[in-house]
Amino acid sequence: MERKQQLKEAFFAQDEETILKKMETTQKGLTSSEAEKRIAEYGPNELNQGKSKSIFVKFLEQFKDFMIIVLLAAALISAVFGDVTDAIIILVVVVLNAVLGVYQEAKAEEAIDALKKMSSPEARVKRDGNVVSLKSDQLVPGDIILLEAGDVVAADVRLIEIASLKIEESALTGESEAVTKDIAVITDEKVGIGDRVNMAFMNSNVTYGRGEGIVVGTGMNTEVGKIADMLATSEETMTPLQENLNRLGKYLTIAILVVAVVMFVVGMYNGREWLDMLLTSISLAVAAIPEGLPAIVTIILALGTQKMAKRKALIRNLPAVETLGSTDIICTDKTGTLTMNKMTIEKVYVNGAIQLVGAEIDLQTPVVRVMTYSNDTQIANDGTLIGDPTETAMVQYAINKGMNVKEELAKEPRVAEVPFESDRKLMSTIHQLPDGKFFVGTKGAPDELLKRCTQIDNNGKIESLDEKTKKILLDTNHDLATQALRVLAMAYKIVDQVPTDITTQGVEQDLIFAGMIGMIDPERAEAKDAVKVAREAGIRPVMITGDHRDTAEAIARRLGILEADQKGGVLTGAELDQIDDKDFATKVKDYSVYARVSPEHKVRIVKAWQKAGKIVAMTGDGVNDAPALKTADIGIGMGITGTEVSKGASDMVLADDNFSTIVVSVEEGRKVFSNIQKAIQFLLSANLGEVLTLFIATLLGWNILAPVHILWINLVTDTFPAIALGLEPAEADAMKKPPRGRKATFFSNGVLPSLIYQGIFEGGITLFVYWWATHNPAHPNDLNLVHADALTMAFATLGLLQLFHAFNVKSIKKSLFTVGFFKNKTFNLAILLSAALLSVVILIPGLNDAFSVSQLNVEQWLLVFGAAVSIIPLVEIVKFFMRRFSKNKN
């Protein structure tokens, strides 16, 4: 236990001798027998699998929704009291909804598996004094591991020897630039992961040089392991859609139970049989429940996923579609999301002036020759550049300008070199020239390189480098650096022979300054426009990155995340550590950029915004993003550059890694929510009309509709139009409105008053037609026919009312004449199909007997049709006053 506890120590703050002693190892490595003991003690070097849910468990979890529980209760009551048909229909709807839910969410828990698969298959270690190759799962703390370019680091390692070692850690830290490693002790024990330069971390990539180190963490005791543990223990957040459906189910249940109890009491008071009233009350309660709602919501969401997939946004679970539409905050990683994740030369200082990357340049100018010669980039046969991102950027620049780099290097081959070292920050190569002389090219940090320069190349003219010129060059370096550009300087000299002393003293002296380059991981071309559109839609973009503060701030200003003249708004991970959660919750709105952050910081930022009542989307592509992706209301992974971990933890994956696709998805999400609102308004106003019709008719002693009539109306008039409403196009001003926020419900934006007055209209019109039919009978001498005609007319009126009313809910407040009657062809076909199914039970002999309805004459049909159509002008009048009231209120 004592040795396991040691794995949690800050090894980067300890020297080699101390660590070797604590890990009970030597520079020759462990013996095989000792390694076997440690495998038994620590376990294999792999990440915990985590508990995966079976398909059956996932299926059962679909029934936790409150509305589903209400429907199951309704089905049970219906079956107990003999209404088996209704019970079967409800059960079919519920099961179908569960199956669709499981199908969409089948891959929702792949994050831990993906982390495990990322482990390096093999590693070179010292065992019994020899270097051997082992499966990475056999590594143990105390092993001495060897690293070289191309390796994937198989464990967390404290480096003890290096030779120009660079490791790319963007998947863990978010930094696009490979980290130059060192072996010196770091005295600050609170330093972030990105600044622990004497460490190599599991699943990072060695891009340059070689190294050797002590394994100090394996499996779940690595930094990646900590992320895996955070993923396994993070809480699943309920989406706004799920919260809304649960809330709606509770409201409906309470309202329905109150109405059913009142109806039962009133009926008993009026002298009706208790069993008759119980069955009538249950029929009313079942009729009032929109049993098709869960399935309709699921179908609308599924239709939304199909449309979003065509626009490069792949949805991994259905509620994410709607959640996008309510997003207030988009917390986005910088590298690979807002930027290209590819270092690019942006400015070149040559011949005393700064020129942009697009300017013409002489390919034989020394600055171009040095950046391509003093460079270890390999050019594959297919043109792919392999090597350190900084160096490949230089070669790519030259290629883009028309240089055949392979050919030039073949004509002037490298014959000697002084490799890069972090202490001197320089690299030099020596090349044979056709005339027998030798070209020495040196690149590195401007301040270090200038110390070794005595002359400067100005348009081919070699001049003495005085202190005044040096100051100008250093000021230029500073100006470029403040623009978040990484600056490298180039120098050269021509010598008659290869120096005998191939060291910095023998090679890197008396150089001629050639120029400087400024490079950056540039923002995506479309990202700035996407940020602008997001702001117009009331959505706040927040950049969260592992990069340096200056770089993050500069990119944020270029994108518009920070205003050009805005002061502050940037916070580092170290500064965030000094703020407790309570204070941070009050200050989170002050910051739009976070730099040098860890995975824990990202989760804190997301949670702080959530505590502020905001709905948070988190984008990311690295392993380090996964916990925050899972914590956020909606996690958005990158499909191209993203790790399998980030994809597995996400609710949505961008197939094109394009930030602007998120904005498109938000618009689709807003449309989906609006269409769900329309479906709910349509269904509940129809059900309210049915409840009022039955309730008032019972109070008046009218036997107006039987349960079979209500069931058939619900079946044929609810489902098809409600689903077709899900295909309504987005309203023109959808992205000009602010996010509706977490507190908004399906009843917001005027839906509740609309469905109430519209339900009253439907119930009132139906009762009026029944009353008219009983007082103006076509067969006054046959009371049975009078009742049958009146019941049939009420049945037809209520059904057609709902179909015509479906046109009204195309928009909550806008006029139908503005929205358009016939733009949605699917909707029109759904109305015709529903009308046909409603009519056949009245028109077809035999079928009308089964439904206890009669044939109607032309006059009766005209009244039914006229009464049903009247719902459109009535609602138009109310909408007109609603719009006028809204304008006056504003």
Terminal-to-terminal C-alpha distance of the chain: 68
Percent of the chain with pLDDT over 90: 34
HSE on the CB side for 40, CA within 13 Å?
5
Q: What are φ and ψ of residue 117, in 5° steps?
A: -70, -20
Query: What 8-state DSSP symbol labels residue 525?
Result: T
Looking at every residue in the chain, the average pLDDT score rounds to: 83
Which is more confident, 394 or 659? Answer: 394
Alpha-carbon gap, residue 813 to 67, rounded angstroms? 28
More confident residue, 629 or 741: 629
Identify the sign of the CA torsion 316, 317, 323, 328: negative
CATH classification number, 674-889, choose in 3.30.70.560, 1.20.120.80, 1.10.150.20, 1.20.1110.10 = 1.20.1110.10
State the average pLDDT over residues 392-402: 94
The predicted-structure confidence for 31-78, as pLDDT tens digits, reads as follows 999 999 999 888 888 877 555 566 677 677 666 665 566 667 766 766
Position 302, amino acid: A
> Is residue 230's pLDDT more than 70?
no
Q: Tokens representing 823? A: 């733009």
Q: Is the pLDDT of residue 296 over 50?
A: yes
Q: Which CATH architecture has domain 2-49+114-228?
A: Distorted Sandwich (2.70)
C-alpha span between 658 and 313 (Å, rounded): 9
Cα separation, 620 vs 641, in Å, equals 10
DSSP state of 704: -
DSSP result, 45-75: SS----PPPPHHHHHHHGGGSHHHHHHHHHH
- Confidence band of 223 (pLDDT split at 50, 70, 90): confident
CA distance 582 to 576: 12
Is residue 105 predicted with pLDDT exceeding 60?
no
Q: Is the pLDDT of residue 475 over 90?
A: yes
Structure tokens at 280: 């009538």
Please list the residue range(s) of the chain that carry CATH number 1.20.1110.10.
674-889
Q: Tokens 């039914």 label which residue? A: 864
Give how far Cα 147 sits from Cα of 133, 179, 474, 846, Å.
Answer: 12, 14, 36, 85
Query: What stretches of 527-594 show up as alpha helix (H) in DSSP?
Result: 527-536, 549-559, 573-577, 581-587
- Which structure tokens are listed for 647? 């994809």
Q: What is the pLDDT of residues 832-867, one digit of tens each?
A: 999 998 888 888 887 777 777 888 889 999 999 999
Indicate whether 405 pLDDT > 70: yes
Higher pLDDT, residue 569 or 234: 569
Instruction: Please list the residue range(s) of the chain that carry CATH number 3.40.1110.10.
Output: 344-520
Percent of the chain with pLDDT over 70: 84
- Specify the pairing of strand 179-180 against strand 156-168: antiparallel
Span 327-340+524-657: which CATH code?
3.40.50.1000
Spatial contact of 551 and 489, defined as CB atoms under 8 Å apart: no
426 neighbors 420 (Cβ within 8 angstroms): yes
Among 246, 256, 176, 165, which residue's Cα sits nearest to residue 211? 165
Backbone angles phi, psi at 661, to 5 degrees: -65, -30
Q: pLDDT tens, 406-460?
A: 999 999 999 999 988 777 889 999 999 999 999 999 999 999 999 999 999 999 9
pLDDT, one tens digit per residue, over 639-655 is 776 666 677 778 888 88
Q: Is 213 a residue whose pLDDT tops 80? A: yes
Where in the chain do CATH 2.70.150.10 domains reside?
2-49+114-228
Average pLDDT over residues 385-392: 86
Q: CA of 180: how far to CAs of 164, 211, 359, in Å?
A: 7, 11, 31
Residues recognised as catalytic? 333
Q: Is the pLDDT of residue 388 over 50?
A: yes
Report pLDDT digits (tens) over 581-594. 999 999 999 999 99
d(CA 491, CA 481): 19
Q: Would you state the CATH architecture of domain 344-520?
A: 3-Layer(aba) Sandwich (3.40)
Tell me the pLDDT tens digit for each residue of 662-700: 888 888 888 888 888 888 889 889 888 988 888 888 778
Q: What is the pTM of this model?
A: 0.66
